[in-house]
Amino acid sequence: MTPTIGINFHGIGDPKRNLEPGEAPYWITHAQFENVLDRIAASPDPTAYVITFDDGNQSDHDIALPALVARGLTARYFVLTGRIGHPGSLNTKHIRALQEAGMTIGSHGIAHVAWPTLADDALTRELCDSRSQLEDICNQPVTEAGIPFGRYDARVMRALRAAHYTAVWSSDGGRMKQDAFLRPRTSLRGDMSEAMIDSVLAGQMSLRRRLRRTLGMMRRRWVTTG
């Protein structure tokens, strides 16, 4: 399989809801978003990129969907089911429109909590109830999850496998294998320079960051921290 670069977005443009503490840097402008999509579409192999969106903001539908369709690109949307229909977030009509346009819908849980902090039963609810709500809306199986805040550990991985997810998307950065269960992505932020975005799109990481990423992913996969 070709190594692939996962690019993760959150909100685009002006937020239409109150942001969580620490969330603002993950919102980017409409122009920044279009610029990244243009670069992906113009790259020698656009299929080397997987575009994803976390949180289920309304901009997923209003801004991202037409911009993707215009460029012939598709994306995965990881939706927080606790926010469906709330102001500034996707509603069921939006989700169905994304699906009908060929986008993939996945779960980001219900309440935007860090999964390692949850007790087993609450974790199972986050993984399973969010998915069944999305399956009801989409009328087809939902098999992938975007991990909130990129925070996971060995117990979370076991719970995701036990819940029969087939792929889970973290925020570890760098490249991934397209058929891997755990697929690292890089979240783009509004304060990233052009040069930083260039290196993300090139899948480049310094030796130090690569080492930190490898050790971090090993620890998160094999150790339970919660």
Nearer to Zn ion, 28 or 45 (CB): 28
Nearer to Zn ion, 4 or 187 (CB): 187
Q: Hey, which residues between 153 and 182 contact Zn ion (CB under 5 A)?
A: none
Identify the residue among 36, 55, 59, 77 touching Zn ion (CB under 5 A). 55
- E-only strand ranges, the chain: 3-9, 49-55, 75-79, 104-107, 144-146, 167-169, 175-177, 182-183, 186-187
CA distances (Å), 81 to each of 105, 135, 196, in order?
11, 11, 32
Shortest CB 126 distance to Zn ion, Å = 12
Residue 13 corresponds to which tokens in the numbers above?
């443009």
Nearer to Zn ion, 58 or 71 (CB): 58
SS3 percent helix, strand, coil of the chain, rounded to 5, is 45, 20, 40
Q: Hey, which residues between 129 and 158 contact Zn ion (CB under 5 A)?
A: 148
- The residue nearest Zn ion at its CB is 54
**Which residue bears the tokens 């692939």?**
4
- Cα 188–29–43 angle (5° rounding)? 55
Nearer to Zn ion, 32 or 170 (CB): 170
| Tally of residues, the chain | 226
Shortest CB 83 distance to Zn ion, Å = 10
d(CA 56, CA 53): 7
- Kindly calculate the radius of gyration of the chain based on its CA atoms and give it in whole angstroms: 17
Mask: binding to Zn ion, 67-106, rule CB under 5 A, as x and -? Answer: ----------------------------------------
Nearest to 60 by CA among 46, 76, 48: 76
Nearer to Zn ion, 32 or 171 (CB): 171
Shortest CB 112 distance to Zn ion, Å = 6
Shortest CB 9 distance to Zn ion, Å = 11
Shortest CB 41 distance to Zn ion, Å = 25
Shortest CB 109 distance to Zn ion, Å = 8
Shortest CB 181 distance to Zn ion, Å = 20
Identify the residue among 13, 49, 54, 59 touching Zn ion (CB under 5 A). 54
What is the size of the binding site for Zn ion (CB under 5 A)?
Answer: 3
**DSSP conformational letter for 150:** G
Give kind and range of the element (H or E) at residue 211.
Answer: helix 207-222
Residue 216 corresponds to which tokens in the numbers above?
């971090």
Binding site for Zn ion (CB under 5 A): 54-55, 148
